């Protein structure tokens, strides 16, 4: 018998305010158009946090939703991992703030920063904690307020991102170690700091000062995304003796519809087996995969027994993939 981390619940939170491309352009006086944004990115709308609404506010809402979906009390949670690049402050960690907010007090809680790959990284760490017997009931949360770190005069970046939070509740269950077991099968994580400059925050809360705004070389990021994501998904499948034909659902990081469609083609998956929220959410960074998972699990698309591939790339560069059976 082995310990497996099963995905017992999925939760989501999106701020109330929803902005179309045209509304965004008018609000910030941007020289852009709905047609340009849709054609290059597939994005139509994004949600925006209210003034004063923080990553911990949104993450707590998503966490409560995941707990309710799993039918688990906050008092049962023994670890909280939060993936975010927009924490409320350097410390207390956003995870600890969420712990207090949802009424949990046992165990431990900490934040992880891997930009848009944050959720896959946090899932990998949570899976290891569960397999090692260090935790049995773990909340993994992605929560982001990118509206606070965007340069609203830079039309090449500010149209791409949105705010939101998603969460999963992982529970330890005994498995046989077979590929048919429910739960996380494996996670494959990578980083290459030599490419740090192509997607980064200039200054900000770190030790280098500055305005703390997102900067990106879009074309270069695009190029890395398509090759690295395809490679890491193949690595995950090969590690488990699986092929493209075994994938029931692709739940990708929602950066850009063109990147997602390219991945679907590389994996021979029809569009109906790829979960896409980017049109309505834009890129919510570490929150985008758990938001997409919550949507597809709760509307019945992802059924018990389905094999799901998650993949993401983000600033660092960081990238990774996770395989899970629901």
Active-site positions read 116, 253, 283
Burial of 323 (0-12, 13-18, 19+ CB in 10 A): buried
CA–CA separation, 194 and 149 (whole Å)? 23
User: Is 41 an interacting residue with respect to ligand COA (CB under 6 A)?
Assistant: yes
Tokens of 76: 């049962």
Sites for ligand COA among residues 103-142 (CB under 6 A) = 116
C-beta closer to ligand COA: residue 235 or 261: 261
User: Is 316 an interacting residue with respect to ligand COA (CB under 6 A)?
Assistant: no
C-beta closer to ligand COA: residue 108 or 152: 152
**H or E segment and range at residue 233:** helix 218-239
Which phi and psi (to 5°) does residue 307 adopt?
Answer: -90, 125
Contact 226, 259 (CB under 8 A): yes
CA–CA separation, 237 and 96 (whole Å)? 35
Q: Which of 96, 156, 191, 234 binds ligand COA (CB under 6 A)?
A: 156
- The Cβ of residue 183 has, within 10 Å, a number of other Cβ atoms equal to 22
CA–CA separation, 289 and 297 (whole Å)? 12
User: Is 219 an interacting residue with respect to ligand COA (CB under 6 A)?
Assistant: yes
Q: Which of 3, 34, 36, 262 binds ligand COA (CB under 6 A)?
A: 36
Of 63-71, 87-95, 218-226, 268-276, the segment contacting ligand COA by CB under 6 A is 218-226
User: Is 40 an interacting residue with respect to ligand COA (CB under 6 A)?
Assistant: yes
C-beta closer to ligand COA: residue 225 or 324: 225
Decide: helix, strand or coil at residue 136.
Answer: coil
Q: Which residue is nearest to ligand COA (CB)?
A: 218
Q: Which of 63, 70, 159, 257 binds ligand COA (CB under 6 A)?
A: 159
Of 37-45, 138-146, 176-184, 262-270, the segment contacting ligand COA by CB under 6 A is 37-45
Residue 21 Cβ, how far from ligand COA at the closest point, in Å?
Answer: 9
Q: Which residues contact 51 (CB under 8 A, 6 or more apart)?
A: none
**Residues 220-249 as x/- pattern, contact with ligand COA by CB under 6 A:** -xx---------------------------
Residue 47 Cβ, how far from ligand COA at the closest point, in Å?
Answer: 17
Q: Which of 32, 128, 134, 186 binds ligand COA (CB under 6 A)?
A: 32
The secondary structure of 25-68 as a DSSP string is HHHHT-S--HHHHHHHH---EEEEPPTT--HHHHHHHHHHHHHH
User: Is 323 an interacting residue with respect to ligand COA (CB under 6 A)?
Assistant: no
Q: Which residues of 97-131 are buried (b: 16+ CB within 10 A; e: fewer)?
A: bbbebbebeebebebbbbbbbbbbbbbbbbbebbe
What does the binding site for ligand COA look like in residue numbers (CB under 6 A)? 32, 36-37, 40-41, 116, 155-156, 159, 216, 218-219, 221-222, 255-256, 283, 313-314
């Amino acid at each position: 018998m082995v310990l497996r981390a099963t995905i017992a619940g999925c939760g989501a939170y999106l701020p109330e305010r929803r902005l179309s491309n045209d509304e965004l352009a008018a609000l910030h006086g941007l020289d852009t158009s709905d047609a340009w944004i849709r054609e290059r990115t597939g994005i139509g709308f994004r949600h925006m946090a209210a003034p004063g609404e923080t990553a911990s506010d949104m993450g707590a809402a998503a966490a409560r939703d995941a707990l309710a979906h799993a039918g688990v009390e906050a008092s049962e949670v023994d670890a909280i991992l939060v993936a975010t690049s927009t924490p409320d402050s350097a410390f207390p960690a956003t995870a600890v703030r969420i712990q207090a907010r949802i009424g949990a007090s046992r165990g431990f809680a900490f934040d992880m920063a891997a930009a848009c790959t944050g959720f896959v990284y946090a899932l990998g760490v949570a899976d290891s904690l569960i397999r090692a017997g260090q935790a049995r009931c773990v909340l993994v949360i992605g929560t982001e307020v990118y509206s606070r770190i965007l340069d609203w005069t830079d039309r090449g970046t500010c149209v791409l991102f949105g705010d939101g939070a998603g969460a999963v509740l992982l529970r330890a269950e005994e498995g046989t170690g077979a590929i048919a077991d429910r739960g996380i099968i494996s996670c494959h994580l990578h980083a290459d700091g030599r490419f740090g400059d192509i997607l980064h925050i200039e200054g900000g809360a770190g030790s280098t000062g500055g305005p703390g705004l997102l900067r990106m070389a879009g074309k270069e990021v695009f190029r890395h995304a398509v090759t690295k994501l395809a490679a890491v998904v193949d690595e995950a499948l090969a590690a488990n003796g699986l092929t493209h034909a075994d994938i029931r659902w692709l739940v990708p990081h929602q950066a850009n519809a063109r990147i997602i469609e390219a991945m679907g083609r590389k994996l021979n998956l029809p569009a109906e087996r790829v979960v896409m929220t980017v049109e309505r959410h834009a890129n919510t960074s570490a929150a985008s995969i758990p938001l997409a998972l919550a949507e597809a699990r709760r509307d019945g698309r992802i059924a018990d027994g389905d094999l799901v591939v998650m993949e993401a790339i983000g600033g660092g560069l960081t990238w990774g993939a996770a395989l899970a059976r629901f």
